[in-house]
Structure 1
Amino acid sequence: MKKNVRELALEGLLQVEKNGAYSNLLLNSLIEKNKLEGKDTGLLTEIVYGTIQRRDILDFYLQPFLRKKVEPWVRVLLRLSLYQMVFLDRVPAHAAIYEAVEIAKKRGHKGISSLVNGVLRSIQRQGVPSLDEIKNPAKRLAIETSHPEWLVEEWIRAYDLETARKMCEVNLLPPVPTARVNADKTTVEDVLDMLNHEGIEAKKGDLSEDAVQIKQGNAAHTRAFREGFLSIQDESSMLVARALGPEEGDTVLDSCAAPGGKTSHIAERLHGSGKVISLDLHQHKVRLIQEQVKRLDLHNVEAKALDARKAREHFEDETFDKILVDAPCSGFGVIRRKPDIKLGKSAADSEKLSHIQLAILEETAPLLKKGGRLVYSTCTIEQAENEKVVHAFLQSHPEFEWDLSVKDRLPKVLEPYVEKGEVQILPHYFLTDGFYIACLRKKV
Structure 2
Amino acid sequence: MKKENVREVALHILLQIEKNQAYSNLLLNQTIQKAGLKDKDVGLLTELVYGTIQRRDTIDYYLSPFVKKGLDRLEQWVLVLLRLSLYQIVYLDRVPERAAIHEAVEIAKKKGHRGISGMVNGILRSIQREGLPLIEEIKDPINRLAIETSHPEWMIRRWCEQFGENETKKMCEMNLTPPSVTARVNRTKASVEQVMKMLQDEGLIVESGDLSEDAIKITKGSLPKTKAYEQGFVTIQDESSMLVARALSPKGNVKVLDSCAAPGGKTTHIAELLEGQGMVHSLDLHDHKVKLISQQAKRLRLENIHTKALDARKALDYFSKESFDYILVDAPCSGLGVIRRKPDVKWAKKEDDFVKIASIQQNILASVAPLLKPGGRLVYSTCTIDSIENEEVVEKFLADHPSFSLDKTLEERLPKRIDKYCKPESGMILLLPHYFGTDGFFIASLVKE
Whether the TM-score (by the shorter chain) exceeds 0.5 is: yes
1:191 aligns with 2:187: no
Provide the secondary structure at the position in 2 that maps to 1:156: helix
1:429 aligns with 2:435: yes
- Which residue matches 1:371? 375
Alignment of 1:2-41 (within 5 A): 4-41=5-42
Provide the secondary structure at the position in 1 that maps to 2:375: strand
Provide the secondary structure at the position in 1 that maps to 2:180: coil
- 1:162 deviation in Å? 0.3
> Of residues 411, 415, 421 in structure 2, which corresponds to 1:417?
421
> Of residues 435, 440, 446 in structure 2, which corresponds to 1:440?
446
- 1:133 deviation in Å? 2.1
> Of residues 260, 264, 270 in structure 2, which corresponds to 1:260?
264
For 1:398 and 1:38, how far apart are their aligned partners in 2?
55
**2:198 alignment partner AA:** M
- Which residue matches 1:65? 66
> Of residues 78, 84, 92 in structure 2, which corresponds to 1:74?
78
Tell me the TM-score normalised to structure 1 length.
0.99
Alignment of 1:36-435 (within 5 A): 36-68=37-69, 69-419=73-423, 420-435=426-441
Provide the secondary structure at the position in 1 that maps to 2:352: helix
CA contact (8 A) 1:272 1:298 kept: yes
**2:276 alignment partner AA:** G
- 1:35 deviation in Å? 1.5
For 1:249 and 1:298, how far apart are their aligned partners in 2?
15
- Which range is displaced more, 379-388 or 36-45? 36-45
- 1:116 deviation in Å? 0.3
**1:428 alignment partner AA:** H
For 1:20 and 1:288, how far apart are their aligned partners in 2?
23
**1:33 alignment partner AA:** K
**1:248 alignment partner AA:** G
- 1:32 deviation in Å? 1.9
**2:230 alignment partner AA:** R
CA contact (8 A) 1:178 1:232 kept: yes
Once the two structures are superposed, residues 284-307 of structure 1 have per-residue CA deviations (whole angstroms, 9 ceiling, x without a partner) of 100110111110011010110000
- 1:28 deviation in Å? 1.4
For 2:224 and 2:388, how far apart are their aligned partners in 1?
35
**2:79 alignment partner AA:** R
Identity %: 62
- 1:313 deviation in Å? 0.4
For 1:28 and 1:326, how far apart are their aligned partners in 2?
25
Q: Which runs of 5+ in 2 are unaligned?
A: none
- 1:70 deviation in Å? 1.1
Provide the secondary structure at the position in 2 that maps to 1:336: coil
Tell me the TM-score normalised to structure 2 length.
0.98
- 1:38 deviation in Å? 2.1
CA contact (8 A) 1:254 1:263 kept: yes
**1:6 alignment partner AA:** R
- 1:358 deviation in Å? 0.4
**2:101 alignment partner AA:** I
How well do the aligned residues superpose, as a CA RMSD in angstroms? 0.9
Runs of 4+ in 1 over 6 A off after TM superposition: none
- Which range is displaced more, 400-409 or 320-329? 400-409
Provide the secondary structure at the position in 1 that maps to 2:197: helix
For 1:26 and 1:317, how far apart are their aligned partners in 2?
41
CA contact (8 A) 1:31 1:37 kept: no
Provide the secondary structure at the position in 1 that maps to 2:344: helix
- 1:338 deviation in Å? 0.9
Q: Which runs of 5+ in 1 are unaligned?
A: none
